[in-house]
Structure 1
Amino acid sequence: MLKYICILLAVIASEAIAKSMFPLPRLQNLCTQTSVRRDIVSLPQDELQRFIAVVREMHRRGWMDGFGSMHDHIAHQIHGNEQFFAWHRRFLRHFELLMQEIDPGVMLPYWNWGTYWQSPVADPVLTSAYFGGNGRLGDNCVVEGAQARWGRNYPSRNCLTRRFRYGATTGAFWPMRAVRDVMNAAKTHAQFRSRIENGAHGIVHLGLGGDFETMYAPVDVLFFMHHATIDKIWAEWQSRDPLRYRQVDGYDSQRIPVTANSLMPFYSEEVGTALATNGPGYCYVYDDVPAAPMGAMFKSTRRAAFSSFKAAVNNTSSVEQQAQDTEDADDDSAVAPAAAAPPVGNEFHVKHALNDTADFRPPSPMSREWLKGRHMDVAEAARMQALVNNVVAQINTERRQKRAATAAAAAAAAAVRAA
C-alpha cells in the first residue's frame, strides 16, 4: 500500500510542476483599443506568417497541451448547456492573450468553413498552405501544413491526429444560409445555443475526426479558429437585439438556471462579462459584425476569484528529436493563396469540387452514440438535421431554376440570331 501511495504522490508532484507552466493572464478592466478578428484566408502573407510563428511557439512551450487538458477536464460543464457560448468565448480570449504575450500585434483569425461547406477538402485552410488536412494513412498523424509532425503530451504522448469522417473526405458542413435560418428563428439564448451546438458546430468536429472529435481537441489550432467562427455566429445573433448583450437564460450542467451573474467554470467570472466581444477584457470585434453599444453591456458586480484548477501540461510537445524542429519549420512554412474567399452565405458561388450541374448534398446525420458521448442533444441534432436538409434542398432548387433560366435565355438568343 505504501508503495502505491508513494507513486501517487510522485505523480501529483510532477503534475504540480507542469501545471505551473500554463499561464492564466487576467482580463483588463477596460479596452485601450478594439482589435479586429478576420477570416484567416484574408490575412496578408506577413500576418499569416506571424500567426503561424506564434502558435508554433505556443506548441513548443506546451501550452497547446494545457488548453486541451483544461477543456477535457471540465467538458461536461461547458457543453450541452448554457455555459457553452460564454465559456468558449472566454477560452478563446485566454488563447488570444497568450498569443499576444509572444507577439502583441497578433489576433486570432476565424476559419469560415461555410465558404467550402459542400466540399471542405477543397478548403485551402485544410491544405499544406495553412494547417494541413487529413492525417497520414496508418497512424492519422498530421504531416503537412503549419502543424506538420506536431506531437502532443495530453492525454498521452502521441502525434497530432485527424481522421476524416469518410476516409478521404469530411462530408459536407453546414451552409451559412442554414446558420442564418437558425439566427432568424431562435428567440432565446437557450434555443440558439442548442441549435448551433448540436448542428453547425458538431458537424465540423465529427468531420475532421481524430483529436478534433475529442474533448481535448484544443491541442489542434484549428479548434480555436473553428470556435472563433462559432463565436462570430453568436456575436451576429446578439447584434440583432441589444438585450442579448446583458441577458442569458436556460440551465447549466447541474440544472441550475444560468443568468448573467452565473460564474463560468474554471475562470470564475460572471457569464455577463463575456456577452459583448468589445466589452472590458475582450476588446475585439469581427470584421463584418457590428460592435455592441456601450450602453447595452452587462455591468459586473464582483471581482473574479480564479479557480485553483490549472491545466496539466508538459515542457515539450515534440514526439521527435528537438533537432528536427528547425527542419520542420523550414519544410512546412505556409504560403497563403492569393485568391480571396467569396462572401459568407453566397450559396450560388460556394466553393466546391463537384460539377456545377450536380446537386449539393447536405451533411450526413451525426450518430446517436457520437452525440451522447460528447454531451450533445440527440433530439435537437435530429431537428437540426431536418433543417439543414431543407435548406440544401432549397439551394438545389434555386440552382436548377437558375440553370434552366440561363439555358432558356441562351436558346432564345440563339433563335434570334438564327432568324
Structure 2
Amino acid sequence: MRLIFSFLAAAAIALPALSVANAQQTQPACSSIYTRPEILSMSASQWTLTKSVLSAMHRDGWFAWFAQIHDSWFGKIHSSSQFFPFHRRFIYDWERVARGYNGAYVQPYWDETRDYRTPALSQVLTSSWVGGNGQGSNFCVQDGNQAGWNMTYPSDHCFSRNFTNNGNLAPWYSPEYLQSIIERGDSMTTFRFHVELTLHGVVHFNMGGDLFQNYSPNDWIFMLHHANIDRLWWQWQMNNHMWTIEDRNFDNTTTTLSTNIAYYNEPISTVMQLGYGSMCHQYASDPIRPQAHNSTLQNTLINSLPNDVLSTWFPITAKLPAAAAAPNITPDIAASRPGKPIPYPTQFPQDWVKTRSRDPTTVNSIEKDARDFVTAMNNAGYKSPG
C-alpha cells in the first residue's frame, strides 16, 4: 500500500473572509478553500479523473484500509457525539489520500433528497456513474465505476449491493423534512438523532450489500453519502450552532470541544469549523458564510404553507422578513399549486433496529416525527416541487 498524503492546491479557490470571529477557534484560517460538488454537476473530465483515482486506490488497498477502520470503530462512532466529528475527519482523510494520486481530486457529495421519491431511478445509480443493484445470488455489482470489483475486507468477496423492496427502493426523506430537522434541531443530541436515524440510516439499509455492513466504505457511495451528511451538519452549524457539541460520548461521558475524535486522537474542536485548520473545504450549495439560508426551498415553503404549519415545522423560515410579509396560505390555495404531495418515508424493520443496537423507543420516536411531518404537510395542501 502506498502511503501518499501530499496536500496539493488544485481545485482551490480564494477563501472568502468570515464575518464572525469565534473565540473557540484556535486553528489557522485556510489560505484557500476547495469546493466539493454535487456528483451530477461534475464534468466528464472530472468524473474520468475520479474513476481513475478510485481504481488506483482500490488496487493499492485503500478501500480495505478505510473499511477496516470504520468496522473496528463502528460501535463508538455511531449513536454518540462522535458521529458527526468522526465522519467529517474520516472523509477528509479519504480525500487526502485520493489527492496523493491526483491533486485535482475533490470528494463530491450525493444530495439524496433530490432522488427521494424513487431512489432506485436516480441517475447516480446508473452505469454511467456508480452503478445500481447487484445481480445473482451474491448480488455482485456489474455496472458503474466499481463494476466487477473484488473486495478484500473482511475477506475476499465480490462488491455487492442488495436493494430492499425487491430492488424498488421505497421513498427516502424529502428536502423539506431535512430542512425542518435543521431548523428544529435545538441541540446536537436532537439534531444527530434525527439525521442519523433518518436519511443516514435509510441509505445504508436500503442499498444493502457492502454499504449495509459495518465495513460500508467498501462502497464508494459511503463517501458520497457521508459528504452529504457532513454538508447537512454544516447547514445546521451555520444556524448559530457552529460550536455546539453537547452530547454523550460513546463511554457515556459528556462531550466537549477538547474530547478526542475516535481513532484520530485529535480534539473535536479541530474539525468544527470549515475554513480552518485542515477543514479547507466547502460545499457547492452551501459555501462558507455566517448564516444558512436555503432561499429557494424556504421561499417555496413561505409561499405554500399556512402560518401555523410554517411556524411549527420551520421556525427559522417563519421568522424571515419574507414570511412576515407573505399572505397566509390556506390549504385549498396550497393544493392548487404545482407539485406532488410528499410520500411517507420507508421505515426500519425491528430486526435492523436490534442488530444495530439502536434504542427502539428512540427509533420509533424519530420515525413518528417524520410521519407526523408528512401528514401535516399534506393536510396543509403542500405540494413538493421535488
1:320-363 deviations in whole A, cap 9, x for unaligned? xxxxxxxxxxxxxxxxxxxxxxx77989xxxxxxxx99865322
1:154 match: 153
Distance, in Å, in 1 between the alignment partners of 2:4 and 2:256 is 25
Aligned to 1:144: 143
Q: Is the 8 A contact 1:86 1:271 kept in 2?
A: yes
Match of 1:287 in 2: 284
| Structure having greater relative contact order (Cα 8 Å, sep ≥ 6) | 1
Aligned with 1:391 (options 362, 373, 377): 373
Structure 2 equivalent of residue 311 of structure 1: none
Q: 174-183 vs 90-99, which deviates more?
A: 174-183
Q: How far off is 1:200 after superposition?
A: 1.5
* Structure 2, unpaired ranges of 5+: 8-26, 291-295, 302-337
Tell me the equivalent position of 1:80: 79
**Which one-letter code corresponds to 1:125 in the other structure?**
V
DSSP 3-state at the match of 1:36? strand
How big is each residue's C-alpha offset from its partner over 1:371-404, in whole Å with a ceiling of 9 and x where there is no partner? 232243322221221222233334545668799x
CA contact (8 A) 2:339 2:383 kept: no
2:252 is the alignment partner of 1:255? yes
Tell me how far apart the structure 1 counterparts of residues 87 and 153 of structure 2 sit (CA, whole Å). Answer: 20
Are residue 121 (structure 1) and residue 130 (structure 2) matched?
no
Query: What's 1:68 paired with?
Result: 67
- CA 1:136/1:167 → structure 2, altered by over 3 Å: closer, same or farther? same
Counterpart of 1:34 in 2: which secondary structure? strand
**Partner SS for 2:253:** coil
Q: Deviations over 1:54-77 (max 9, x none)?
A: 111111111001111110001111
1:195-253 C-alpha deviation (Å, 9 max, x unpaired):
11011110111110111111100011000000111000000000111xx3334111111
Deviation (angstroms), 1:369: 2.5
Query: 1: distance between equivalents of 2:353 and 2:216?
Result: 15
Q: Distance in 2 between matches of 1:361 and 1:135?
A: 26
The 1:395–1:59 alpha-carbon spacing in structure 2 relative to 1, beyond 3 Å, is farther
Query: Residue 271 of structure 1: which of 262, 268, 271 is its match?
Result: 268
- After superposition, residues 5-404 of structure 1 pair within 5 angstroms as 21=1, 23=3, 25=5, 31-241=30-240, 244-291=241-288, 360-397=342-379
Where 2:114 maps in the other structure, the secondary structure is coil
What's the TM-score once normalised by structure 2's chain length? 0.78
User: Structure 1 residues 391, 22: closer, same or farther in 2, change over 3 A?
Assistant: farther
Question: Whole-Å Cα distance in 1 between the matches of residues 232 and 197 of structure 2?
Answer: 14
* Identical residues among aligned pairs (%): 27
Q: What is the rounded CA distance, in whole Å, between the counterparts of 1:366 and 1:203 in structure 2?
A: 7
Secondary structure of the 2:35 match is: strand
Residues 1:384 and 1:247: Cα distance change in structure 2 (over 3 Å)? closer
Q: Which amino acid aligns with 1:192?
A: F
Partners of 2:367 and 2:139 lie apart in 1 by: 28
The offset of 1:106, in angstroms, is: 1.3
Q: Which amino acid aligns with 2:193?
A: S
Tell me if the contact between 2:80 and 2:248 (Cα under 8 Å) persists in the aligned partners. yes
SS of the residue 2:282 aligns to? strand
Note if contact 1:212-1:223 (Cα within 8 Å) is conserved in structure 2.
yes
Alpha-carbon deviation of 1:166? 1.0
Matches of 1:366 and 1:382 in 2, distance apart?
A: 9
Amino acid at match of 1:364: T
SS at match of 1:146: coil
- Residues 142, 90 of structure 1: CA spacing in aligned structure 2 closer, same or farther, 3 A cutoff? same
**Alignment CA distance shift 1:400-1:90 (3 Å):** closer
Query: Which of structures 1 and 2 has the bigger CA Rg?
Result: 1
